Amino acid sequence: QVWSDYLNVHLHPKSIYVIRQYMHDGECGCLEAFGQGERLLQDPGCIEELEDRLHFYVEECDYLQGFQVLCDVHDGFSGVGAKVTELLYDEYSGKGILTWGLTPVTSNVGVNSNVWIFFSSQDSQKNFYRLMNTALGIVHLSSHSSLFCPLSLSGSLGIK
């Protein structure tokens, strides 16, 4: 029922961490705000599980040079990514952290030729969340990364 059902590559069980409350049938709905993502990794059980999985792979390395982090910055995963990069920065100081901040292409919103398009309050709230998540994500991710690279097919990073 989800994209991972069609994944042809079999991933190691330690490489996947499922956030139960934000699954498609989860109790909380969608992860839409930066603070929600940050709060997830303030839970001691969650952070311990993440550290265990991370240490499992780090111990397999002969010569660890650094990390690459791919993170959506337009939704609540920007908060998750910010906490993960902070964890990497604190635990593995001196190792490089290359962070890719990903944003989707948004549909053309706003003025189209001479026609004004008006939005409901729900659309403006989503746009506000997207803007705030992107701004907070860029600031936090870049402060704990050796290099932060925003990536989008849209020239505006998905911000209108």
Residue with tokens 């337009």: 74
Q: What is the pTM of this model?
A: 0.79
Domain of residue 41, residue span: 3-108+115-152
- What mean pLDDT is predicted for residues 61-81? 93
Whether the per-residue pLDDT at 126 is higher than 90: the answer is no
Please give the pLDDT value at position 24. Answer: 57
Q: Output 10 or 159, whichever has higher pLDDT.
A: 10
If one counts the domains in the chain, the total is: 1
Across 23-27, 64-68, 121-125, 134-138, least confident range: 23-27
Q: Is 159 domain-assigned?
A: no
Q: Is 65 domain-assigned?
A: yes
CATH number, residue 135: 3.40.50.1440
Q: Is 80 domain-assigned?
A: yes
**Rounded Cα gap, residues 142 and 101, in angstroms:** 9
Q: Is 157 domain-assigned?
A: no
- What mean pLDDT is predicted for residues 141-145? 96
**Which residues have CB under 8 Å from 13's CB, separation 6+?**
none
Q: Is 30 domain-assigned?
A: yes
Q: Is 158 domain-assigned?
A: no
Q: Are 70 and 100 in contact (CB under 8 A)?
A: yes
Helix, strand, coil tally for the chain in percent (to 5) = 45, 15, 40
Q: Is 70 domain-assigned?
A: yes
Q: Is 81 domain-assigned?
A: yes
